[in-house]
Amino acid sequence: MIPSPAPQTQPRDFASYFPPTSGYLSACTGGLPPLETVRAGHAFYDDWSKGALDARAIGAAAERVRGLYAGLAGVPASRVALGSQVSQLVSVVATGVPDGGEVLCPTGDFASLTHPFEQLAARGVTVRYAPAASLAEAITPATSLVAFSLVQSATGEVADHAAIVEGAAAVGAQTCVDLTQSLGWLPVGAADFDYTVCHAYKWLCSPRGTAFLTVREGLDDTLTPLAAGWCSADDVWSSCYAGNTPLSAGTGRFDLSPLWPLIAGTEEALKLFASLDARAVHDHAVALANSARQVLGLPAGNSAIVTWPDPEGADLATMQAAGLVASGRAGNARVSFHLWNTPDDVELLARALGR
């Protein structure tokens, strides 16, 4: 667990950080931008249109983003790489799986996490699946890596990560954890895992296209920087051309060139999360989710994501017709609750479904 930061002065409700909205129940699909992120995006395009972009300043902002994410994930900045897609970063982790090894994943986990490992068959690597709820028990001495989402996209199920880490350590296996559906509402970071990946556009409310990889100290040299480029060095401006292309001493060797239009907005979003009490954010989101579960006749849970069977999509269609933004995954209807949501959103859900 990441210890909650010292409580900060906060508004009466978290929604004041965001443009006014109502009935948006889909952080698990894509977060909403904080007001400061919107302003930063406009400022970027204003500067670009005037020919006033400063590449070095954008690079400095990217380093601040690295530091902010490191703080949220509970690891040193030297352990963080910046990318743009989870699957690309998982592909780097996949280079460290030994020939003939086994990767264990939850049944039905998100493809961006599992798909890169399935491409290793030519090296004799197998991917085995087990239910998320019993993943720790499914680990065997043949397991090289356990790769799982901390929170399952299709169901909202929260993994028993402590038991999985213990089970992996007992057989000498490593762990790779996708924090995309958790970091931002669930105060569990990267320090307990060998590798983590996270895209910031969901619960961290950043523009889509900024993702992060963390690598435990001592494991950088076991991975291959498949997409190494000019930003893979510690001094990027002296490493632009062939003949002097050193790798960063740390996890920055796996960096991709940052997507310039997104950096300032991502920085503002991560600054917001760094200023908040992580436990208060968690309690706010889960309390609203449990209010929705009560409306739906479901037992209380520990996730900010609420799902229920909707194989024909009837409930999803009803919610959408009522103006709610929700989603459907794997035969389930899916809603979620985050900083901008209030009890009014639960009431809108109840009215839409006639509960």
Shared domain for 18 and 104, answered yes or no, is: no
What pLDDT is recorded for position 13? 86
What pLDDT is recorded for position 53? 96
Shared domain for 241 and 301, answered yes or no, is: no
Shared domain for 159 and 180, answered yes or no, is: yes
* 3 within domain boundaries: no
* 348 within domain boundaries: yes
What pLDDT is recorded for position 274? 98
What pLDDT is recorded for position 3? 37
What pLDDT is recorded for position 11? 42
Backbone angles phi, psi at 328, to 5 degrees: -130, 135
The answer to whether 113 and 182 have CB atoms below 8 angstroms apart is no
Q: Which CATH number characterizes residue 258's domain?
A: 3.40.640.10
Q: Which residues contact 289 (CB under 8 A, 6 or more apart)?
A: 301, 303, 304, 305, 306, 336, 337
* 38 within domain boundaries: no
* 50 within domain boundaries: no
Per-residue exposure over 42-67, b if at least 16 CB sit within 10 Å of its own CB, e if not = eebeeeeeeeeeeeeebbebbebbbb
Shared domain for 256 and 307, answered yes or no, is: no
**Of 257, 273, 289, at which residue does a domain stop?**
273
What six digits make up the tokens of 98? 């030994």
What pLDDT is recorded for position 162? 98
* 40 within domain boundaries: no
CB burial of residue 197 (10 Å; 0-12, 13-18, 19+): buried
Maximum distance among all Cα pairs of the chain, rounded to whole angstroms: 67
Shared domain for 344 and 251, answered yes or no, is: no
Q: Which CATH number characterizes residue 310's domain?
A: 3.90.1150.10
* 1 within domain boundaries: no
Q: What is the pTM of this model?
A: 0.95
| Structural domain boundaries enclosing 335 | 14-32+277-353
What pLDDT is recorded for position 65? 98
Q: Which residues contact 324 (CB under 8 A, 6 or more apart)?
A: 23, 24, 25, 335, 348, 349, 352
Shared domain for 247 and 288, answered yes or no, is: no
Q: How far apart are CA 329 and CA 326, in angstroms?
A: 10
Q: Within the chain, which residues score under 50 in pLDDT?
A: 1-11
Per-residue exposure over 328-349, b if at least 16 CB sit within 10 Å of its own CB, e if not = bbeebbbbbbbbbbbeebbebb
* 226 within domain boundaries: yes
**Of 221, 255, 273, at which residue does a domain stop?**
273
Q: How far apart are CA 70 and CA 66, in angstroms?
A: 6
Q: CA 88 from chain center: how many Å? A: 14
Shared domain for 120 and 255, answered yes or no, is: yes
Shared domain for 229 and 286, answered yes or no, is: no
Shared domain for 81 and 224, answered yes or no, is: yes
What pLDDT is recorded for position 210? 97
What pLDDT is recorded for position 2? 38
**Of 208, 240, 273, at which residue does a domain stop?**
273
Shared domain for 162 and 136, answered yes or no, is: yes
What pLDDT is recorded for position 8? 43
Shared domain for 151 and 91, answered yes or no, is: yes
* 43 within domain boundaries: no
Share of the chain above pLDDT 90, in %: 96
Per the DSSP assignment, residues forming a β-bridge with 149 are 178
CB burial of residue 99 (10 Å; 0-12, 13-18, 19+): exposed
Q: How far apart are CA 42 and CA 77, in angstroms?
A: 28
Shared domain for 171 and 236, answered yes or no, is: yes
Domain count of the chain?
2
